[in-house]
Each structure stands twice: as C-alpha cells, then as structure tokens.
C-alpha cells in the first residue's frame, strides 16, 4: 500500500503549496474506480430485486446473490443504493441460458439510473470457447478454477451503482483494492472470494453518494485535502479565558463530488500556541468536539498575548490529508501592565 | 518480420477451427491452449465468436478491435470484459485470437467500426500464464493504439480501450513471435 502513503504526502504538499489542481480524482491507475456514464441512483435508494421469470437461479446461487446484496450494504461506506431481495422486486436477476452477456461474459448487468437495473449470471457448466464455467457454490468443495458467485455478484452490484472497472497496477498488486475489476479472478487467484467492496470501490461510492456520517472514515483510496480554520477572541482580560474554535472540513473541490466541504467530526485536532514574535509552537492540547459538526474547541487561560493555530495531522486510517490553520492572535488587554483592574494582583508579573 | 502469407494463415486459423468444429461431431480443441485459462475444467467444443451475443458491434455492443501489422491482414481480438451504454459484461483473463507477428514490430489496434478512442492501456503476459499472472505494462495512451511486439515466444496481449462516455472494452490476442 505504498501508493497510499505517497498520495497522503501528495495531499499534504498540494495543500500547502500547489492548490487543488493536482487533486482531481480521475480514473488513474490504482486510484478510485472510474464512474460509468448514465448517472447515479439516489442516496440510500432501496432497490429491490427478484428472480427473473423462467431464469430463476438454483438455491445455492440465490443464497450467494442475496449475500452479495448484503455485502453492498455492509461495506459500501457511503450512501450508495442498497439491494434487497423481494418477491415483487422490480429489478430482475436471471441465471442461465437466456443471459444477454457478451459471448465471453460470465455475468453482466444493465443500469438505468435512477430507476432500474438487471443482472444475469451464466449457468453452471456454460461452455465458452475458452472453457466451461464453474461456480464455486455448485460444489461442496469448490475446485480450482471456479468463480465465487458472491464475489462476481458483488462486482455486478458495484457496476449497477455506477462503478467502472478499477485500473490496476500492471502486476495487479493492488487487485484487492477493488472488487469491480476488468479481469474476474477464479479460485485460487488473488481476490477470488472477496466479499466486501475494496477501498477504491468505496472511494468512488463516497464521492458520488457521500459518506454515511460526518464522523465516518474516508476511503484510503481517496485523495482529499482538508481545510482547517481557527477563530478566537481578539482580546481577553488578564487572567481571563479565551476559547479557540477550529473548523475542519474536506476542501471544497469539484473533483471531490459530494465530499467537498463536508465537515469532519470525530478527528484529532490539536491547538498550538506561541508568544508573538517567537517561532516555536507549543502544543496546548487536543481540542474537544465543538457545538456543531466539524468544530473543535479549547479554552485557554491567558496572562500574556498569545498566537494560536489548529493542527490536523493526516490520519493513517483514512484518505485525508493533514492541514494547519492560519494563525489567530489573542491580546491580553487592554491593560498590559499590572496592576490591572480585575486582573492580576500588583507584583505578580 | 513475418511474411504476409504467414499472417494470412495465422489469421485464418480461428476461422478454420470454427468450420471444423461446426462440421465435426466431436468437440475440437481450441487453437488457443486451454492451459492459459484458470476456468477450464474440460476441453470445450469450439464455438468461437469474437462479437458479443447482445448486439451489433459499435451500437448495442462495443466495437470489434482489429490488430494489424504492416503488410498483414488484421485479426479481430477476442472481446472480454466491457461496459457499454448502460450495461456491461465481465470475463476473466482470456486466451486471445492467434496472430503471428515479428519481434519488435509495431502492432496497431483499431476499433471496427471506427469509434473515437479516449484512452487505452495494454498488458502483456506469457501465454502460458494462467489468469494473466506476470503481466507487464505494454503501453498506454489516449489516441492511436500502438504496441511494440515482444520477443520470441507466445504471449497474450490484452488491450483495454476507453470510448469516452460510450464505455470501454478489453480485447485479447495470442501473439506468436517466432
């Protein structure tokens, strides 16, 4: 996952020096999955499916497809559409000879966002000119060369959401970063039985459908700069308290889709201070959750002028870059020399 | 450099194999080795077609893609995974359509019908590898697809072509390099 570290560094560098132009999330190698033309479904849209009349999957295949639908809900990491089996579901999933897949396709889909979709899986034993199809779920002990229905169906559900094929490194060392892949893998190839969206699937789902909450983690396949600001009172009486309030957001960039300007709650933001005219910052402490989403607060008791700034270090477990706020200055005054009324006793400075 | 006649023979092999399969009662071993695919359980009958079953190439389905070298007849690649106009189909790494080329020759891939290309990338793997293991980057770009033929041996060339908002498709060839 070296590329993730590289991207995080890139985010930091760009935040500080280059602006947003380098952060566009296009379909580049080992980046977020591309998104298909045709638009998206609604946020958290519930899509019900049923078995296509005359092409009902056998029981084991049904079970695996339903499991894949549950995998979508469990691992989408976003407000992407969900899929649920219902006997009256308006979106048919078929299995067998009637499949309209490409001549070499083991499974296929159509999508008409935001209204409907279809899915097909070829039948067990289907003869291609390159081999005969084996679904792992058709065996008590899945043989080498079989395809896992749950994995393949999850790939198709990903397509229905709008995900295009992940662009891998040539050696496919990042194959596990996505389920939606150009080349379906059979047992025992890498990723043949993965039952969760990969980080680069989730990255695109998040951009298109948004995250589930302001404290939800952002996919490590994402490349998101953050913006941190801090506000503090300009003056405070000697010995009085001043509360600095920081606001942390995803930087508002069009390339980020729905994620731009999202408030970021539940993160670790620290407050640093220094005396005016000095260069060394000291950590005042971790800021606590503020009154609104994405805000953080820390109160200082002051007897001298101080400069403050907030710092958000890039986390290691999500795809956010670090950021540092601009500096705010808090003056202790207007009385600067003791004795001050309602402040320090004479001789205390 | 391969002769034109050699290329013609190579190009005709799949067609000949299809005809044989269609006329014979017994299944015929494909001209592409079954050992190149991980999904093969049996030696299947040959029912080769390189166009999708779902519609006219370039309209309801992705276009065909032809690989050609200077002086040789083009050979249509085997269509694998694609996404096209609101639909798509998934395939594993496929053995490609055979073609004989010379080491170092420039291989040109063109869609048929000619639909504008917005991007492409090519992978090259030893034909004997299963599932494309050992594949290396054989090139990429945003305009004409041109790949330099590898050295002597049998190789699978998989080219993924992007067609803007229309979609993308992956095509495979088996390169026989004397």
Structure tokens at B157: 């060339």
For residues B87-106, average pLDDT: 97
* Structural domain boundaries enclosing B165: 4-177
In chain B, which residues have their Cβ closer than 8 Å to the Cβ of A155? 90
Residues 6+ apart with CB under 8 A from B25: none
**Residue B134: burial class (beta carbons within 10 Å; 0-12, 13-18, 19+):** middle
**Cβ–Cβ below 8 Å for A170 and B137:** yes
Retrieve residue B82's tokens: 């694609």
Does A219 reside within a domain? no
Among A67-76, A187-196, B30-39, B87-96, name the one with the lowest average pLDDT. Answer: B30-39
8 Å CB contact of B39 and A144:
no
pLDDT at B2 over 80: no
Q: State the pLDDT at residue A2.
A: 37
The whole-number pLDDT of residue A185 equals 96
pLDDT at B84 exceeding the cut of 80: yes
Are A62 and A118 in the same domain? yes
**How many other CB atoms are found less than 10 A from the CB of residue A56?**
15
- What is the rounded average pLDDT of the residues B24-34? 32
Q: DSSP letters along A86-149, please?
A: -TT-SEEEEESTT--S-TT-SEEEEEETTTEEEEEEPPTT-EETTEE--BGGGSSSPPTT-B-H
CB-based contact A97:A54 (threshold 8 Å): no
A193 lies in the same domain as A232: no
Pairing of strands A183-184, B87-92: parallel
A38, A107, A130: residue with CB nearest B94? A130
Please list every residue in chain A whose beta carbon sits closer than 8 Å to the beta carbon of residue B168.
Answer: 164-165
Closest residue, chain B, to A183 (C-alpha)? B92
Domain that holds residue A170: 26-209
Q: What is the ipTM of this complex?
A: 0.84
Q: Rounded to a whole number, what is the distance in Å from the CA of A194 to chain B's nearest CA?
A: 16
Same domain, A201 and A236: no
Give a yes or no: residue A297 inside a domain: yes
Is the domain of A184 the same as that of A230?
A: no
Is residue A194 domain-shared with residue A238, that is, in the same domain? Answer: no
Statement to judge: residues A120 and A231 lie in one domain: no
The torsion of the CA quartet A76, A77, A81, A87, rounded to 10 degrees, works out to 50
Contacts 24+ apart (CB under 8 A), B116-120: B116/B163, B116/B164, B117/B142, B117/B143, B117/B144, B117/B145, B117/B161, B117/B162, B117/B163, B118/B142, B118/B162, B118/B163, B118/B164, B119/B161, B119/B162, B120/B145, B120/B159, B120/B160, B120/B161, B120/B162
What would the pLDDT profile of A9-60 be if each residue is shown by its tens digit? 333 333 332 332 222 233 445 799 999 999 999 999 999 999 999 999 999 9
Look at residue A107 and tell me if it is in a domain: yes
Q: Which of A209, A242, A264 is the last residue of a domain?
A: A209
Strands in A288-289's sheet, in edge-to-edge order, are A226-231, A241-250, A295-301, A288-289
Nearest CA among B126, B115, B106, B120 for reference residue B171: B120
CATH of the domain at B101: 2.60.40.10
Number of domains in chain A: 2
Q: Does any domain span residue A343?
A: no
CB contact under 8 A, A130 and B135: no
Question: Both A37 and A185 in a single domain?
Answer: yes
Please judge whether A37 and B95 are an interchain contact, meaning their C-beta atoms are less than 8 angstroms apart: no
Same domain for A243 and A178? no
Touching A: B residues 49-88, CB under 8 Å: 49-54, 61, 78-83, 86-88
Q: In chain A, which stretches have pLDDT less than 50? A: 1-28, 343-344, 346-349
Helix (H) or strand (E) holding B17: helix B4-23
pLDDT of residue B56: 73
Chain centroid offset of residue B59 CA: 20
The whole-angstrom distance between B13's CA and the closest CA on chain A is: 14
Residue A327 lies in a domain: yes
Asked if residue A244 and residue A185 are part of one domain, the reply reads: no
Residues 6+ apart with CB under 8 A from B102: B1, B2, B69, B149, B177, B178
The CATH number linked to A90 is 3.40.390.10
Residue A76 is assigned to a structural domain of this protein: yes
On whether residue A183 sits in a domain, the answer given is yes
Question: Is B37's pLDDT higher than 70?
Answer: no
State whether B91 and A102 contact (CB < 8 Å). Answer: yes
Chain A residues with beta carbon closer than 8 angstroms to that of B45: 127, 129
Within a domain: residue A339? no
Instruction: For residue B89, list its beta bridge partners.
Output: A108, B82
User: What total of structural domains would you count in chain B?
Assistant: 1
Chain A residues lying within 8 Å of B88, measured CB to CB:
36, 108-109, 159
Do A57 and A151 sit in the same domain of this protein? yes
Distance CA A322, CA A224 (A): 9
Q: Which residues of A touch B95 (CB under 8 A)?
A: 130
């Amino acid at each position: 996952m070296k590329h993730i570290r590289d991207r995080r560094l890139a985010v930091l560098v760009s935040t500080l020096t280059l602006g947003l132009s380098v952060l566009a999330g296009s379909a580049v190698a080992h980046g977020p999955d591309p998104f298909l033309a045709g638009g998206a479904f609604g946020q958290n849209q519930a899509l019900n499916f049923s078995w296509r009349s005359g092409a009902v999957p056998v029981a084991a295949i049904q079970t695996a497809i339903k499991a894949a639908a549950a995998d979508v809900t469990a691992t989408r990491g976003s407000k992407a559409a969900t899929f649920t089996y219902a006997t009256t579901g308006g979106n048919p999933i078929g299995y067998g000879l009637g499949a309209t897949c490409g001549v070499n396709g083991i499974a296929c889909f159509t999508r008409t966002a935001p209204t409907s979709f279809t899915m097909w899986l070829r039948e067990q034993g289907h003869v291609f000119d390159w081999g005969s199809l084996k679904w792992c779920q058709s065996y008590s002990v899945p043989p080498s060369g079989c395809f896992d229905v749950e994995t393949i169906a999850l790939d198709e559900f990903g397509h229905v959401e709008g995900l295009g094929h992940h662009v891998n490194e040539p050696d496919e060392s990042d194959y596990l970063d996505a389920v939606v892949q150009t080349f379906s893998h059979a047992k025992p190839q890498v990723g043949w039985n993965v039952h969760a969206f990969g980080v680069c699937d989730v990255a695109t789902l998040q951009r298109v459908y948004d995250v589930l909450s302001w404290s939800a983690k952002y996919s490590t396949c994402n490349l998101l700069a953050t913006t941190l600001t801090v506000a503090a009172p300009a003056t405070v009486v000697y010995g009085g308290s001043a509360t600095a309030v920081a606001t942390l957001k995803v930087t508002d960039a069009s390339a980020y889709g729905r994620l731009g300007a999202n408030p970021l709650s539940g993160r670790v933001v620290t407050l640093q201070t220094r005396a005016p005219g000095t260069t060394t910052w000291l950590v005042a402490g971790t800021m606590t959750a503020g009154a609104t989403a994405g805000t953080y607060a820390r109160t200082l008791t002051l007897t001298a002028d101080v400069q403050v700034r907030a710092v958000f270090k890039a986390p290691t477990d999500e795809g956010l870059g670090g950021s540092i706020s601009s500096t705010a200055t808090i003056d202790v005054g207007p009385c600067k020399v003791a004795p001050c009324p309602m402040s320090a006793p004479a001789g205390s400075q | 450099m391969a002769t034109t006649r050699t290329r013609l023979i190579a190009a005709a092999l799949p067609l000949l194999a299809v005809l044989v399969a269609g006329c014979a009662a017994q299944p015929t071993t494909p001209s592409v080795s079954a050992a190149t695919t991980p999904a093969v359980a049996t030696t299947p009958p040959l029912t080769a077609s390189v166009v999708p079953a779902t519609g006219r190439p370039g309209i309801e389905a992705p276009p065909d893609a032809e690989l050609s070298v200077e002086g040789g007849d083009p050979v249509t690649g085997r269509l694998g995974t694609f996404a096209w106009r609101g639909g798509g189909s998934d395939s594993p790494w496929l053995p490609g359509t055979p073609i004989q080329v010379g080491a170092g020759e420039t291989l040109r891939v063109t869609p048929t019908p000619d639909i504008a290309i917005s991007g492409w990338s090519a992978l090259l793997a030893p034909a004997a590898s299963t599932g494309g293991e050992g594949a290396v980057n054989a090139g990429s770009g945003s305009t004409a697809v041109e790949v330099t033929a590898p050295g002597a041996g049998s190789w699978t060339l998989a080219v993924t072509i992007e067609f803007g908002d229309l979609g993308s498709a992956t095509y495979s060839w088996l390169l026989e390099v004397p």
